[in-house]
């Protein structure tokens, strides 16, 4: 605040000095007289004329005629000039008094105008800069009231919808997006917010209209970071792991390799490759990375530091359940299965409501148990399917568990449900069909006497 006041005062003084300097500057001895200037010019011209006569360039008659003309011109120039009358002693506003008035009034006017039109509180470092929840709700409700009075404002409805979404009022957000009409389809950010709202109302599943809006947004802005992120999530949820990896790797090229976002996307890609049993790829071309980083991403040391920072932050924020979920997946990618299981156990209410997270926990426990789904892994799988009967990973693991228990009919049923979700003709669909054929063969063999 003191720095700002000092700079403002210095600038004001400079302006005052610039204004008063011409008024205080002496008028004597520094100017050039018009009479004197005309006389000097006349003298030079007369000398030149006399020189021409001496050299014989002009005749005596021409000399006298031109000399007379110059003298008449000089007389006319000097006598027609009337010196400005002095008003000294007759007017109150002398130059010095005017300078004093300007010097005093300018700072007063500057301060007064700033207090009237400026925001003095903004320079106070300890002034409140946040708006409480009540004020936010009042602003949103005020916007809603204005739109009810003047409903022909699609941009306003979109703004209201996004505000409702941030406040968690998803039903109201959906209604407001609908009232925005065709305007929604002109702005990628609005379309992606609408897709997120619909996904939240659909158990956090980005399918159907949500997926269509994401695809439409990417057509308008093919490198939209949030669009690529959501497109990858949508593909992951329908078990199109190759599609998820493709979108996330494209997103990775747009991010700072040293950022936490890039590190999280790399973890997501590793998880998708593991889930889809996809081979490693060197196709991703990352921007230049800091010294010590591998050409294809982060070094193990950098990843370890990132994971350690996240773990330390969560110690101070134990109720960040989404953070614990990210940490558990990071530990899983690192192969630290015990630490990952401990982090999953701290995800709190998410383990009762998020089918995807429950499925990931079950997969971790089964991996730690060398692929054995009995016990807690199977309990978690069934819990995930009760929340989302078409959760692809849960269905695949349920089928594997049934196959291990030689309940081939149940395994086939789960795999056939998976087939109804997968894109026809995809490599994943072909793999599932091969599993079904194998299970049917086992079932036929066990049925023979």
Query: Tens digit of pLDDT per residue, the chain (449 long)?
Result: 566 677 777 777 777 677 766 666 644 444 444 555 566 666 777 777 777 777 777 777 677 666 666 665 555 555 444 444 444 444 555 666 666 676 677 777 767 676 666 656 555 554 444 445 677 778 888 888 888 888 888 888 988 888 888 888 889 999 999 999 998 899 889 999 999 999 888 888 888 999 999 999 999 888 898 899 999 999 988 889 899 999 988 888 887 776 777 778 888 888 888 888 887 654 443 444 444 444 344 455 666 777 788 788 888 888 888 888 888 877 877 778 888 889 888 988 888 888 888 888 888 888 888 888 889 889 999 998 999 888 888 888 898 898 888 888 898 998 888 888 877 777 777 888 888 888 888 877 776 65
Report CA-CA distances (Å) from 171 to 190, 194, 234, 289. 16, 11, 21, 43
Q: Where does 377-449 sit in CATH, by number?
A: 1.25.40.10
Instruction: Assign domain 141-237 to its CATH architecture.
Output: Alpha Horseshoe (1.25)
pTM higher than 0.75, yes or no? no
- In this prediction, residue 230 carries a pLDDT of 92
The two tokens of residue 208 are 């159907």
* 141-237 shares its CATH topology with 377-449: yes
Per DSSP, the three-state class of 389 is coil
Report CA-CA distances (Å) from 74 to 33, 35, 46, 67, 326. 14, 9, 11, 11, 96
Return the residue matching tokens 């980005």: 206
Domain boundaries, the chain: 141-237, 377-449
């Amino acid at each position: 605040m003191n720095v700002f006041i000092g700079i403002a005062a210095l600038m004001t003084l400079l302006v005052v000095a610039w204004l008063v300097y011409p008024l205080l500057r002496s008028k004597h001895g520094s100017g050039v007289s018009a009479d004197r200037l005309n006389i000097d010019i006349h003298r030079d011209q007369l000398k030149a004329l006399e020189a021409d006569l001496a050299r014989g360039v002009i005749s005596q008659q021409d000399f006298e005629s031109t000399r007379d003309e110059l003298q008449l011109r000089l007389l006319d120039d000097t006598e027609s000039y009337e010196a400005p009358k002095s008003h000294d002693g007759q007017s109150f506003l002398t130059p010095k008094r005017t300078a004093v008035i300007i010097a005093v009034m300018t700072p007063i006017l500057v301060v007064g105008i700033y207090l009237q039109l400026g925001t003095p509180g903004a320079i106070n470092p300890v002034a409140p800069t946040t708006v409480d929840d009540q004020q936010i709700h009042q602003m949103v409700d005020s916007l809603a009231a204005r739109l009810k009075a003047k409903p022909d404002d699609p941009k306003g409805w979109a703004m209201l919808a996004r505000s409702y979404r941030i406040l968690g009022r998803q039903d109201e957000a959906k209604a407001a997006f609908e009232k925005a009409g065709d305007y929604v389809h002109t702005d990628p950010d609005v379309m992606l917010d609408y897709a997120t709202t619909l996904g939240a109302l659909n158990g956090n599943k980005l399918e159907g209209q949500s997926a269509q809006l994401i695809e439409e947004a990417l057509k308008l802005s093919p490198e939209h970071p949030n669009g690529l992120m959501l497109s990858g999530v949508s593909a992951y949820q329908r078990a199109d792991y190759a599609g998820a990896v493709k979108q996330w790797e494209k997103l990775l090229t747009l991010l700072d390799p040293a950022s936490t976002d890039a590190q999280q996307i790399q973890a997501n890609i590793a998880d998708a490759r593991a889930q889809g049993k996809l081979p490693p790829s060197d196709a991703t071309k990352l921007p230049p990375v800091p010294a010590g980083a591998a050409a294809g991403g982060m070094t193990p040391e950098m990843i370890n530091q990132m994971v350690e920072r996240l773990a330390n932050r969560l110690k101070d924020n134990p109720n960040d359940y989404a953070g614990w979920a990210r940490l558990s997946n990071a530990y899983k990618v690192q192969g630290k299965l015990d630490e990952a299981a401990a982090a999953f156990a701290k995800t709190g209410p998410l383990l009762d409501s998020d089918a995807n997270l429950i499925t990931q926990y079950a997969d971790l426990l089964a991996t730690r148990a060398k692929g054995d789904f009995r016990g807690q892994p199977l309990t978690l799988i069934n819990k995930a399917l009760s929340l989302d009967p078409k959760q692809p990973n849960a269905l695949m693991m349920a089928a594997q568990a049934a196959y291990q228990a030689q309940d081939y009919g149940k395994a086939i049923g789960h795999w056939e449900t998976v087939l109804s979700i997968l894109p026809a003709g995809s490599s994943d669909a072909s793999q599932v069909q091969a599993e079904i054929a194998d299970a049917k063969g086992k079932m036929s063999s066990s049925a023979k006497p």
